[in-house]
Structure 1
Amino acid sequence: MLKRICAFFTAAVIAVMIPLGVFAESSTLQEIAYREVSIPVPCNVTVMGDSIATGFGLEGYAAGKGSPLSYANILKDKYSKQLPSDCTFELTNFAVDGYTSDDLLKLLDSGKCDEALSKAGCVLISIGGNDLLHALWDTLKEAGITYEGGEVGAKDLLKILTSLGKLKKKLDENLLIFDQNLPKIASYIRTKSKGEFFIQTLYDPLESFSMIPGISSIAKDKIGRLNEIIKGHAGDPAAGYSVCDVAPEFVGKANELTNIGKIDIHPNAQGHKLISEVLDKAITAKKYSYMQEYVIERKIESEPADAASVDSAVSLQGNSTVMIAVICSVCAMAAGAAAMYLIIKKRR
């Protein structure tokens, strides 16, 4: 009888002391950690600017949605395939048809782009074309010059020459505004984004445009000036952008790479493909990375019983577990003590 009671008492004590860590045991603790991993292309790209960036005039184009054939979406498709499975490519396109540098600056000042810019590994800007184009169309419209069947509607040469004089003045005024706006645009983006930052030069779609006398030479001069401004501000300390020189790739190929034959200065599908290649070359020359999530498994082992290790184990179990264990221990020891008392008394 005595042996049975002692065995019961011992088993009870062991059972309630195991949760407290009196005997050696091991468990695995999982922790989420992050590490920086290099990737060949950015996983988050923000595009801003005008209708060149939206893909205006391309097949499948829809205002506000762009076209699958635009250079931005070509890069999206390409880069999505070059990233690890746990790194999803994200493209945010804030470009709007008709945007001038004034419009882009207002958009930035609104703060609507801040979050996207803060996440961007790469920012692409196409801006400046409408600063010139708006001046061209407005001046010609005021002069009564229209296009009918691919020919100039107004035949008065004096009227055309007068309008071109006004056009030059208006273009110079707009270039001055562009020169003032560009550093502000670049500085704002640089304060919001730590990613790589590229501004594209503007190609000349009117290099062989002969419908209006003198237009080609004016376009060459003013577009050249606009590109000088873009390149010039790249060195500003607060700007921090790289120039993606698209313009030279279009020289002598305007009819082939744009829709100018339809009186539309925008790049066609072939033009967008070329722009994507020029951008890709500039983008991939930089370095990119992302924060990869992974799991660390830590093996925790408890040491057998000294007072310090028991205290430590108890603290890890939580208040409820400790309370239950203590109560069970007290009950077991009380039961054992009572049993021992009865045995001793009986023997007497």
Structure 2
Amino acid sequence: MQRGESVIKKNAVLAAILLFGTAACGKGEVDTAVDYVALGDSLAAGQTPYSEIGDGYADMIAEELERQEQLAEYTKELAVSGYTTDDILKQLASEDAIETVQAADLITISAGANDLLRLVRINPTSGEVEFDEAQMEKELNNIRGNMETVITKLNDEAPDASIYVMGYYFPFPHLQENQKDELANRLDQLNGILKDAAEGQEADFVPVDEAFGENALDKLPNAADIHPNREGYEAMADAFWNRYQNR
């Protein structure tokens, strides 16, 4: 299949997925049933602020498609808490994962945050955020290369699927204000890398940071955990729909 043909078919799938406008939820009818695959880290899996797996943004996207009677299949079996971009590359080398991806019409992916968060430490005495600048820069470059490879792999295995790369929100609203700037800057870098990787591979990037801001205590209620509650996941699902509507 030529790349131009793939893009035309991909746009046709996108055009069929969702138009919004109903009074109940602001979403209109879907014309074609889709196979939806969510992959990535704990956000794709739906981890709660209290270390349980519940309904995340992917489940909410699937629920809306099902409500419209336009969901053929849905799985988040490729979404694993703690996964880094390295883990996802290894995952996509397995036959089972490839078979799942090949069946997809719609793919969402959350990846990259764990690569950075493992470098961040909150000093228990001072409460200050600590990380090594050189290590952080190295990891950001690694994320860039990995995500480009991941999206290329997804395009190769599912050339007609619509791929959405989810951005990240600021995960530390409970920090003191003077502690937030440097981490917020790194988050901006990460989101920029994910956006470039997506758009460079004819995928779509879904920004979610504005929906959260730096003080989203209502969406991130547990100071000891970076995962959102249902309201937070709803904001991520809404960001997905908004990106689709305005693409």
Q: Return the TM-score normalized by structure 2.
A: 0.78
Instruction: Sort the Cα spacing of 1:111 and 1:215 in 2 relative to 1 into closer, same or farther, 3 A.
Output: farther
Structure 1 runs not aligned, ≥5 long:
1-35, 146-151, 287-348
Aligned-partner Cα distance in 2 for 1:60–1:203: 18
8 Å CA contact 1:208, 1:216 repeated in 2: no
Q: Which gives a bigger RCO, structure 1 or 2 (Cα 8 Å, sep 6+)?
A: 1
Residue type matched to 1:206 in 2?
Answer: F
Superimposed CA distance per residue, residues 54-96 of structure 1 (whole angstroms, 9 cap, x where no aligned partner): 11126893xxxx41x3222222222112126xxx531111111
Aligned-partner Cα distance in 2 for 1:42–1:196: 13
What is the aligned residue count?
Answer: 218
1:56 aligns with 2:35: no
8 Å CA contact 2:220, 2:232 repeated in 1: yes
1:124 deviates by 0.2
1:205 to 171, 178, 195: 171
1:43 deviates by 2.1
Superimposed CA distance per residue, residues 233-273 of structure 1 (whole angstroms, 9 cap, x where no aligned partner): 2332xx221011111111144212113x4321111111011
1:100 deviates by 0.7
Bigger shift: residues 214-223 or 175-184: 214-223
1:170 aligns with 2:135: yes
1:228 aligns with 2:192: yes
Task: From the two aligned structures, give the one with the greater helix fraction.
Answer: 1
Hey, what does 1:78 align to over in structure 2?
Answer: 64
1:103 to 87, 105, 127: 87
Residue type matched to 1:257 in 2?
Answer: K
Aligned-partner Cα distance in 2 for 1:271–1:219: 20
Structure 2 runs not aligned, ≥5 long:
1-12, 18-29
Instruction: Sort the Cα spacing of 1:95 and 1:112 in 2 relative to 1 into closer, same or farther, 3 A.
Output: same
Hey, what does 1:115 align to over in structure 2?
Answer: 99
8 Å CA contact 1:207, 1:254 repeated in 2: yes
1:263 aligns with 2:224: yes
Aligned-partner Cα distance in 1 for 2:217–2:49: 15
8 Å CA contact 1:205, 1:258 repeated in 2: yes
1:171 deviates by 1.6
1:92 aligns with 2:75: yes
1:185 to 136, 147, 150: 150
Identity %: 22
Instruction: Sort the Cα spacing of 1:58 and 1:73 in 2 relative to 1 into closer, same or farther, 3 A.
Output: farther
1:169 deviates by 2.5
Aligned-partner Cα distance in 2 for 1:80–1:284: 18
1:99 deviates by 0.6
1:248 aligns with 2:239: no
1:220 deviates by 0.7
Hey, what does 1:315 align to over in structure 2?
Answer: none
Aligned-partner Cα distance in 2 for 1:241–1:74: 21
Structure with greater Cα Rg: 1
Superimposed CA distance per residue, residues 143-171 of structure 1 (whole angstroms, 9 cap, x where no aligned partner): xx3xxxxxx3x24x9xx6xx83x532222
Q: Return the TM-score normalized by structure 1.
A: 0.57
Instruction: Sort the Cα spacing of 1:123 and 1:169 in 2 relative to 1 into closer, same or farther, 3 A.
Output: same
Aligned-partner Cα distance in 2 for 1:235–1:279: 15
Superimposed CA distance per residue, residues 9-32 of structure 1 (whole angstroms, 9 cap, x where no aligned partner): xxxxxxxxxxxxxxxxxxxxxxxx
